[in-house]
Structure 1
Amino acid sequence: MRRTKGIDHLDTAVIDEDLIGGALMEEADGDQHISSMTTFELAQVVAEATTLRLSYKNVLKIDNLQGFSRLTKLCLDNNIIESISNLDHLVHLKWLDLSFNNIKTITGLEKLTELMDLSLYNNQISEIEGLDSCSNLQCLSLGNNRIANLDSIIRLRRYPKLKLVNLEGNPVCREVEYRFTVLAYIKNITYHDYGTVDPAEVLQAKEQYQDELLELQEKEALEEEQLGRERASESETEVLRKANLLVTKTLFSDMFEADAEMSKLKYLPGIDDMTERYRTHVQGVAESYRTAGLANAVKKEEEVTLFDAAVKDLRHSYARRSIEMIEVFTREKKKTFNELSARESIDPGDLLPLQTKLEELESALMDLEMYEVEQHEQLMGEFETNYTEFKNHCFEMQHNFFRAVEEHEEGYFNSLAQLAQDMLEKMAKNELPDDAPDELSNLLIDRDTCMNIVVGSHDIHVGKLLGREDETRAAEIRAMSGIIESRRREERTRNRNRMLELRDFFETNRRHIADLISSKLLEDYDEADGM
């Protein structure tokens, strides 16, 4: 049963190392070694934990759960929590129990997209909200809260996997239409308020709300269609961004959004049709560039894939040869050590052949590493040459695209200038239509001012166009530099690590040889001393 004392009469607890350690110990059936762990050891246990129970702990605030990267089940029921917070990092959470708390609003669940079971039973919640990201929700318990509106229940329709819903004990349950609303609107409900749902009752409920459901389904279909378009647009945008072609989608709008003069020119009669023709021309040019650019992007990706595969094969080949050489030496070392260990005494010269072979191996492996570095650099040079051709082709396509748009901009400017001159002449002859807006008359009062506005608009468009061209070219250079540098950096790291490995290997083997000599000499000394 839930405690009934107010917060003022309780010693509130903080989720800290001690509380977490105790909870983990309880979860481990009293395994006492947890209590004696260091902070580092406890952090490791926390990182591996999938379940955490902090029930009946007088917790007021959810906090300090950062280390639980694998947590799938969290129980915080029967506490005095007032708000849901600090759970964003628990992205693998599937089961969350916050029942018997003092929560008023459902918040802080935006990142919990894998959540399947949520209990907020016996809180102070009045609205069903804040669950938009919980698309995998299957079980929802909101009983004994303050939900009073049937519309809140209808919102649960957006969760297609929802099968179990508990709302018993809310004011809404007293509504005559409560149960039929739940059964009609929640698509796949199987359990409702502690009972199994009768399919016949669901059918009856849906028949009762047939008209409302049809209207809602039409609305949902439109929303889904719109969502589909938005997702397709986002997907296209990401593809274009990755291929450095996003400018084909945004250039026209960029030019006009930056054009402050257009607010004055928009009253020229016919300018809308003129602008729309301009848009169509730019779209045509952009489509051609986009198609060619995407094809070139595919070729660039293929070139990168071929290079990475060649480097992988190169490294595998040299690694195999290195392993074979080391294995030969290791067998020889083992044989020599076995033979010499069996002797009563050894001379340092007995290990000279093995030392010579170690030196030969060192020279051979260093040469092998040098050859690998040289071959990688050769592959790198070939890759850079090939990729540069694709980059230069991109530059050529970019140049052609921006010059084509610039040419259409020049045509648009000339048409706009001619339109403005025609209207200025009509203004001079007092031939403007009677219904002409005052803004048009104000624009045409002074010829120089009007033409300066037209020229200013053109300059803004050209400036934005040239700016986008510079940005697109710079992005292409950065992309290539990033790819080249990342591969060179990866090779430098590999070479550095390999040199350290070889150094450790040879130092270890020299030490083993020295240790064998020392141990045998010591044995001889001990035997002589004993005599």
Structure 2
Amino acid sequence: MSQFNNNIEPNIIDDKMVQKAIEEQCPEDLNLAEREAINFKDVTELQLSFRNILQIDSLWHFENLTKLQLDNNIIEKIEGLESLVHLAWLDLSFNNIEVIEGLDALVKLQDLSLSNNRISKIEHMDTLQELQIFSIGKNNLTTLEDVIYLRRFKNLRTLNLAGNPLCEDQRYTLFVVAHLPHLVYLDFRLVNDTTREAAVLKYQDLTELLELEEAEALAQLKEKQAKQKELEYHTAAFVEYLNGSFLFDSLYAEDPEAAKLAYLPGVADLLQTYRKEFVLVCENLFNYGLEEHEKREAEVSSFCESLRAALMANQQENRKIILDFECRHKRRLDEIHNARSYDIAESKRAESKEDILQLSEALMTLEMLIADQLEELIKDFKRNIADIASTFIENVKGRMTQCRDLEDRHHERLLEICISTLEKSVKNELEEDLPDDVRTLLVDKTTIVKALDTSHGIRLLKINKRESDILCSTYRWQASVTEKAFQNEIDRNRDCIKKILQYIDTLQEELDNITIVEPVQ
């Protein structure tokens, strides 16, 4: 059906279509009401073949779908699949698709069929690392070298390319087998050892070069990932980019006047000293930040462990009480069923009611005790977190004050050099031959002071901004971790009370539903 026909009315996937498809897939023993009541989120397989579908849409409900058939339609574009993150099997064969796209979210896809379409290039599939079976036969693939793209799929074992123009190339079979060494089946045929050996021999030089390039690319990727992971760790410690000259370099990133002033006698040495001292303060702050991050993590870990221990002890006590009760409760229910008289049965029922009431009180008391215990635990945690955050903040402020002091001293010394150079220039006593753009700064004292003060102010703002970023991150973390602890406890307490009430109601309902029949005399 992968052609337009004037007599065909194109369809777009809608709720009515998918509901009908689901009903058709349901077991025959389900009645219509049961079929209509099926939640789209519970559907794992969906067949929408031969339905004249032009556009993929309305599938976002099916978030747990693992198998989707859209073959034999008139689909032109792969789209609308973003929410199907659990999809393992996808059939889009016999459509009008020209470009491979829209598959990025399908990271669990293992079997993909795009055969009998109009595709001319294998591309845009990088995220499909679980791919094992790929069928793209009878398309418009012409370039044999495009097959090399498939080397990235290390799990690919079955490939169908039959019916594409590239298959007419006499190199086809050996080229594909050589470049996809893990392939087991090609075009529905088992790749035998003879073919594999011939392919390796013919294309060994090319494949070895590819392997070297891939190994280098993999090494670069791992290095990039390691750096990214390290940066994430530094960011979690709130001291990212403080392990070096990043902050110092940023102070001068947009200050062309500073580069000009470096030509003045003594300024280069002054700047080098300033840089060395400033970077040292930053690195000290960086190392301190990592140490404090470990302390924060240890405090959170200790709190979580204490929380787990308290809850485990509470749960064990709960289980003991419930087991003891259920033994008694079962015995009493048997006694009620087997009572020799109505009065005896009613007496046993009354005892059960009282026992249920006592169980409710016991469970509620236990919950109240654990709630009080956890409340104190969380309060201690909040105080500890506040102390840790306060200590960190004070130390950050101290070190950033050192950075500002260094900037102030540098500014004062730079100003002295500039004024001295200006005076020598006015008296024609300046020995150095300065560039013209530097001399334009040495017009008069007012001009040079204004230029230096502007640069100084910008650098102080950048230092203040970095300090503010660290403090804000710390405050946010402090609020987040403590508020989360309190909210989790509120949610746990409510959930626990709800479960107790439901359990007690179930017991009471079970007891109330026992019909007592007075024995016949």
- Aligned residue type for 1:382: D
Once the two structures are superposed, the pairs formed by residues 52-131 of structure 1 within 5 Å of their partners are 52-131=46-125
The structure-2 alpha-carbon separation of the partners of 1:205 and 1:166, relative to structure 1 and needing over 3 Å to count, comes to farther
CA distance in 2, matches of 1:157, 1:508: 59
Q: Does 2:293 align with 1:297?
A: yes
Q: What is the letter of the counterpart of residue 102 of structure 1? A: N
Q: 1:200 is matched with which residue: 197, 201, 224?
A: 197
Q: 1:263 aligns with which of 238, 242, 256?
A: 256
Cα 1:166–1:280, aligned 2, differ >3 Å: closer, same or farther? farther
Structure 2 vs 1, CA of residues 493 and 422 (structure 1 numbering), >3 Å: closer, same or farther? same
- Secondary structure at 2:30 match in 1: helix
Q: Aligned residue for 1:132?
A: 126
8 Å contact kept, 1:148–1:171:
yes
Residue matched to 2:399: 401
1:484 counterpart = 2:482: yes
Q: Take 1:472 and 1:45, find their aligned partners in 2: how far apart are those partners?
A: 46
| CA displacement at 1:235 relative to structure 2 | 0.3
CA separation in 1, counterparts of 2:350 and 2:151? 83
Distance 1:153 1:272 in 2: 57
The secondary structure found in structure 2 opposite 1:60 is strand
* Offset from partner CA, 1:342-373 (integer Å, 9 cap, x none): 33437999988777766666555544433323
Out of 219, 228, 231, which is 1:237 matched to? 231
Match of 1:31 in 2: 28
Q: Which amino acid aligns with 1:109?
A: L
Shift of 1:102: 1.1
**CA distances 1:100-128 after superposition (whole Å, capped 9, x unpaired):** 21111111111122223322222222222
Q: Is the 8 A contact 1:166 1:193 kept in 2?
A: yes
Deviation at 1:237, TM superposition (A): 1.7
Q: How many Å separate the matches in 2 of 1:371 and 1:178? A: 75
Please give the alpha-carbon distance, in whole angstroms, between the structure 2 residues aligned to 1:85 and 1:79.
Answer: 14
C-alpha distance after superposition, 1:202-260 (max 9, x if no partner) = 223324647xx53x55544443333222211210122122233336369x646755767
Tell whether 2:307 aligns with 1:306: no
Tell me how far apart the structure 2 counterparts of residues 395 and 4 of structure 1 sit (CA, whole Å).
Answer: 66
- Take 1:128 and 1:14, find their aligned partners in 2: how far apart are those partners? 26
Structure 2 unaligned residues grouped into runs of 5+ = none
Matches within 5 A, 1:44-443: 45-46=42-43, 49=44, 51-173=45-167, 181-186=175-180, 188-195=182-189, 196=191, 198-207=195-204, 209=206, 214=209, 216-217=210-211, 219-246=213-240, 248=242, 253=246, 257=250, 261-269=254-262, 281-325=277-321, 338=335, 341-345=339-343, 364-410=362-408, 412-414=410-412, 416-417=414-415, 420=418, 424=422, 429=428, 436=435, 439-443=437-441
Structure 2 counterpart SS, 1:90: coil
CA contact (8 A) 1:255 1:461 kept: no
User: Size of the alignment, in residue pairs?
Assistant: 512
Distance 1:430 1:191 in 2: 87
Q: Is the 8 A contact 2:248 2:279 kept in 1?
A: no
RMSD across aligned C-alpha pairs, in angstroms?
A: 4.2
In structure 2, the partner of 1:456 is 454
Give how far 1:175 is off.
5.3
TM-score relative to the length of structure 2: 0.80
SS in 2 for 1:6: coil
Partner of 1:10: 8
* Deviation by residue 1:131-176 (Cα, 9 ceiling, x = unmatched): 1222333333333333334553343344344444444444444556
- Structure 1 range deviating more: 30-39 or 487-496: 30-39
Deviation at 1:482, TM superposition (A): 2.0
Q: Is the 8 A contact 1:24 1:52 kept in 2?
A: yes
User: In structure 2, what is the Cα distance between the partners aligned to 1:415 and 1:75?
Assistant: 75
Contact 2:134 2:160 in 1 (8 A): yes
SS in 2 for 1:8: coil
Deviations 1:1-31 (A, max 9, x none): xx36524331223323444345445556x63
Q: Distance in 1 between matches of 2:340 and 2:506?
A: 22
Cα distance in 1 for partners of 2:299, 2:217 equals 41
Task: Find the aligned partners of 2:69 and 2:295 in 1 and give their Cα distance.
Answer: 52
Letter in 2 for 1:485: E
Q: Helix, strand or coil for the counterpart of 1:106? A: coil
Query: TM-score, length-normalised on structure 1?
Result: 0.79
CA distance in 2, matches of 1:426, 1:177: 80
Cα-to-partner distance string for 1:357-391 (whole Å, 9 max, x where unaligned)? 66666555544433323222222233233333322
* CA distance in 2: counterparts of 1:70 and 1:131, whole angstroms: 21
* Cα distance, 1:486 vs structure 2: 1.8
User: 301-310 or 284-293: which moved more?
Assistant: 284-293
**Inter-CA distance 126–501: structure 2 relative to 1 (3 Å threshold):** closer
Partner SS state of residue 81, structure 2: coil
Q: Which amino acid aligns with 1:480?
A: Q
Indicate whether 1:41 and 2:38 are aligned.
yes
Return the alpha-carbon distance in structure 2 between the equivalents of residues 327 and 173 of structure 1.
71
Of stretches 269-278 and 472-481 in structure 1, the one that deviates more from structure 2 is 269-278
What is the letter of the counterpart of residue 409 of structure 1? E
Q: Quick one: distance in 2 between partners of 1:274 and 1:27?
A: 80
Within 2, Cα distance between the matches of 1:431 and 1:499?
86
- Structure 1: how far apart are the matches of 2:216 and 2:256? 34
Q: Distance in 2 between matches of 1:35 and 1:504?
A: 32
Moved more, 294-303 or 257-266: 257-266
Q: Would you say the 8 A contact 1:409–1:458 is kept in 2?
A: yes
Shift of 1:85: 0.5
What CA distance in whole angstroms lies between the structure 1 residues aligned with 2:200 and 2:353? Answer: 88
Describe the shift of the 1:281–1:342 C-alpha distance in structure 2 as closer, same or farther (beyond 3 A).
farther
CA contact (8 A) 1:70 1:92 kept: yes
Q: 1:52 touches 1:75 (CA, 8 Å); kept in 2? A: yes
Rate the CA distance shift 1:121–1:320 in 2: closer, same or farther, 3 A: closer
1:59-110, CA deviations, whole angstroms, 9 ceiling, x for partnerless residues? 1111222233333332222211101101122222233222221111111111
Taking only the aligned residue pairs, the percentage that are identical comes to: 28
Q: Aligned in 2, Cα 1:34/1:176: closer, same or farther, shift over 3 Å?
A: farther
Unaligned stretches of 5+ in structure 1? none
Are residues 515 and 79 of structure 1, via their aligned partners in 2, closer, same or farther at CA, if it must alter by over 3 Å? closer
SS in 2 for 1:74: strand
Q: 1:137 to 1:43 in 2, by over 3 A?
A: closer
Secondary structure class of the residue paired with 2:218:
helix
